[in-house]
Structures are given as C-alpha cells and as structure tokens.
A and B are shown apart, each in its own frame.
Chain A
Amino acid sequence: MESRAAESRAAAGSGTEAPPAIKAVNLCKAYGKHVALDSVSFEAYAGEILGLLGRNGAGKTTTISCLVGLLTADSGQVEFFGEEPQALVRQGSVSVATQEIALYPGLSVARNLSFFASLAGFPPRELKSCLADVVDALALSPLLHRPVGQLSVGQQRIAHVACALAIRPRIVILDEPTSGLDVHTRKNLLDYLQVVISRGSAAVLSSHYLQEVEDTCDRVVLLDHGKCVAYGSVAELVVRFGGGHVEIVTTTGRTIEPGTNVPMILDKYRDTDIVSVRVMPPSLNALFTSLTASSEPQEQMPQEQRSEEPA
C-alpha cells in the first residue's frame, strides 16, 4: 500500500513532491469547556486511505466535520491538495458520507444518487455511466427503484455511501461507512474504495472495525479524548505499539508472556509440562487496547451544543 501511494504521489508530482491530498495541522475544537479536539495533525497523500480510530466520543466525527467545513475549528488549518477545502468542495471534488444516513427516504435510491451527482456538477449525459459504475460495484441494481425508506438499515447505509462514491471525488471522507453492513456488502464497498483510491483520490475512513482498518488503510490516526495518541503507517504502529504475546497453558495454570520470540519464551518452560502454546501476533487491536484502555469512557456532546457558525 505504501508503494501504491508513492506511485500515485510520483505521478501527481511529476518528479517534484506533490502536496498532501489532505493535511490537517493542529486542529483544535471545544464545545464550551469540553475539548473535543486538541492539536490534531495528520496528512494523507493521493492514493492513500487514512484510518481514523478512537473510542466513541474520541473526536473522530468532530475531526471529519472540521475537515469538510461542517464545523469550523477553533484553531488549526486544513488543506486539500494545498488549497482551501471549500475551494474543492465548491468544485464537487470532495464527497462525504456522514455517520448518519443522509438520504431522502421517500425517493428511490436512483433518485437520491442522481440528485447528489447532479449537484456535484455531473452533466446529464455523463450521469448514467458515472452511476452505473458504482451501482455495479456495490451490487445496488435490485435496490435502485425502491424508496430508501423501505430498505433495511444496511441497505440504506450502502446507498448512502454510494452517493458519496458516485461523484468520482478527489477526496473521500467516510464516517463509519461499514457499520451495519453484511460481510459481502462490506467487502464490495472496501474493494470499490480501493478502485476509487487507485484513480488518485485520497480517503479518510473512520471505523470501529480494527481488522478492516488494518487491512484497508495505509496510515492511521488514533484519537483518545480529542488527542492524537498514535499516528503513522499501520505496519509501523503495529510493530511499535501492537504488543503481541504468547499464551502458555501448563499443568499448573495459564501464563501470558509478552513478546513473540517463541523459542526464547519456551526456553523458560523447559522443565514444565506444557499443555498448549498460543502465539498472538502484534495487531492493531492490541495497539488500540493498549493506548485507549486506561481512559474513562469519553463524553459525547449532545447535538444541540454543536451548533455553530454562519452560512
């Protein structure tokens, strides 16, 4: 995945270093006395997917809202491809699938898709081919002419995300897009996201499914109480913080040994009757648990306190 992003960067930059597709610098946001974001910084390049992780209320949705202008950060800066985010939003180059499903329930999936694609500036003659692409990839054909309100929550979710991906955006921001999706639909979505990214887009993916983030994302930002507690490539973070242990069950009991150097660990038990040995490799799951487990459950702001700035 690193090489995919590097290729994309090289192609975009034609030899010179291209600016990050998404750049957030020292984002701060408070709701009254509650600090939702505290100097959060990260970058994602074209061809990359940035994972946004954290417990409920850690600041993921606030970060996304600040990125796309739904909220204005108290301080800090956001750039998309070196420009003001709103410049790209006005070009229809940014698409967002918010955590809440945002569709017109009385209208069909097809009407919702074509409405948001038309608003993004797709000429009517290109609309059909643009929508056919996402409809095929996400297997939406059977749902196309059904009113959104008659679909299951999972079906609504995939239609909601499809509206974001249909417009062929340069920046894709997905807030928990796979929540409530079945295994096949989730796979279709993540596969299609890779297709979108391979065209030179960059994505931010917020999720609670750690395996999904580990498999899909190039970099990860881990938020805890509005602070960035880990940021880097998935591989690097997993090696650095991802733990890993060996579980040894002997006739006298069960022991957890830190690390994954099995020969060295077994050497300690050479005079003991070992019943079983289980090696738990370093993982994003272990990283997440170790960096957020000690914290108290995080306070979520009621929506009415998130009201903010003028049009």
Chain B
Amino acid sequence: MSGGNRMLGRSTHRALVVAVNELRLLAVDPFPIILLIAIPSLIAAFISKGLVGGAATAVPGLAALFGFFGLSTIGFAFYRDHGWSTWSRLRTTPASVPEVVLGKLIPLTGLFLAQQAVLLVFGVLVLDMPWRGSVGAGIVAIVCVVAVEVAIGLMFAAICRTINQLNAVCNLGGLLLAGLGGALAPVSTFPAWVRHLAPVSPVYWGLRMLRGVIADGNGLSQLAEPAAILLAIAAVTGGLAIFRLRAGDVKEFYASR
C-alpha cells in the first residue's frame, strides 16, 4: 500500500471510529430522534384531509419543516463535545478536525435520510398519498434536500457561539426558511413581494422537487434545475461552515463553565 493510500485508509478508519461513537451517543437518548420522525407523521395524519392537494401537499411540507427543525441535532453533536470537554480531548488525538466532522455527520446524515424516507413511505402506505414519479427520482430529491439540511446545520453550528443561539437560529431560522419556501402554505397564496423572495429559501426548491415527483410524476430531467440549485446552496453553506469552523473556538454548552 502506498503512503498516500495508507494515510487515506487511516483517515477513513478514524472518521468511521467517530461515526460509530456518534451512533452510540444517539442511541443512548433516541427519544428526540423518534419525535422528529413520529411527530410530522402524526401531524400529516391530522391535516391531510383538510388541505387542498391532501397528503401530497401536507407530507412534503412537513418533511421539509421537520427536517429544518432537526438542524439543531447537527450543532448539538458538536456543542455537547464542548460541554463534556471531549472536544479538547479529540483535538489531542490523531484525528483531524475534518475527520471528526465527517465522522459526526455520517450518522446524522443517515438520520435525516431516514426522517424523509419514513415520512414519505408513511404518506404513501397510511395516508394514500399518490406517488406518480419514479422511486429513483424520489431518492434523488431526498438526497438533495438532506444535503442542504446537513450543510446549513453545520453552518449554524459553526457560526453560533452558545447552545441558546444555536437553538434560536435553528428553530426560528428553520421555521422562517420552511414558511418562506412554502412548507406551511403554498407559495401561490403569499403576497406578491413574498412570492418573489420564496426562491431564496432552499425549502422552496426542495418542495418543488418532492411535490414534483409525488404529484406531477417528474422524472430526473425535470429535477435537474432544482437539484443543481439545492446542491449549490449546500456547497456554499457547507463551504462557509468549513471556512468558519475553528478547532479552538469556545462553544458554550448548557453546563459549560
């Protein structure tokens, strides 16, 4: 094995060790994760019948809304390490900051993918949500939505300094982005000036993809534009997060001294 391959192998190994540890930490307290998946399913069951478009409108909207509510889970994975002083310990191990970040994001990305998938499957199987597109197009849409959620979550984690800031930014910022993007009410019902602002929100493009696949049967070619925009937003916010993330930053967790 060449030196470069060996280094890559060790790097991958360390990221996987962090990922397994992160999965164990999530498993210690699964309740918030269960709620993030169960609550949107319950709400979808209540409101689908009364909405124009039924489950095909409600389910993608709630998937986007609760995806953004879950953003604090990403920041929390970093802040609790600061609170437990394990962040400093990690910095004195051979694991580099990118390896730790990658390791933490692997199970969290899985969690976000599962959230979207479970809600959509629940919509189809329980709420009789019509699914006119292909499964492949649905998977592409989910992957793009999750990519942008994870990147924005990481950016919020990088720019906030305290857990209270993180909670406020993720909850209120998430609600604003979801509302502006049409997760709470269709964009067509907004005042004209807000309608023009809606494309600023990644939720707008995510919903266009999801609703397009579910209700209109859009294929991969029709998903290209919103997918490219979502991946560009993910690249910009993720890049900003990596640029802003400092190993030596002090993040205040609840119990920080």
Contact = CB atoms under 8 A, between A and B. Distances in A.
Interface of A: 68-71, 89-92, 94-96, 98, 100-107, 111, 115-116, 118-121, 163, 303-304, 306-311
Nearest to A99: B85
Given A307-B248, A311-B97, A106 B17 contact: no
B88 A98 contact: yes
Contacts of B252: 304
A96 B92 contact: yes
Interface of B: 10, 14, 17-18, 21, 24-25, 28-29, 84-86, 88-98, 245-250, 252, 256-257
Contact of A119 (B17, B24, B97): B17
Contacts of A102: 84-86, 88-89
A39 to B, nearest CB: 23
Contacts of B84: 102-105
A309 B256 CA distance: 20
Given A106-B25, A106-B29, A98 B250 contact: no
A-B residue pairs, 8 tightest by C-beta: A106-B28, A311-B247, A102-B85, A102-B89, A100-B85, A311-B97, A308-B248, A307-B250
Given A69-B91, A90-B96, A94-B92, 9 more contacts: A89-B92, A103-B86, A105-B84, A107-B28, A115-B17, A116-B89, A303-B256, A304-B252, A309-B246
Majority secondary structure, A binding face: loop
A91 B249 CA distance: 24
A89 B95 CA distance: 9
B94 A92 contact: yes
Contact of B92 (A70, A118, A121, A310): A70
A311 B246 contact: yes
* Most chain A CB neighbours (cut-off 10 Å) among B17, B25, B86, B89: B89
A92 B246 contact: no
Contacts of B28: 106-107
Contacts of A89: 92-94
* Most chain B CB neighbours (cut-off 10 Å) among A90, A95, A98, A102: A102
15 contacts: A68-B92, A89-B94, A96-B92, A98-B89, A100-B88, A102-B89, A115-B17, A116-B93, A119-B93, A303-B256, A303-B257, A304-B250, A306-B250, A309-B247, A311-B248
A111 B94 contact: no
Given A119-B18, A303-B256, A309-B246, A90 B85 contact: no
B249 A307 contact: yes
B159 to A, nearest CB: 14
A127 to B, nearest CB: 11
A111 B14 CA distance: 15
Contacts of A103: 84, 86
B118 to A, nearest CB: 24
Nearest to A111: B24
B209 to A, nearest CB: 34
A95 B91 CA distance: 11
Contacts of B248: 70-71, 307-311
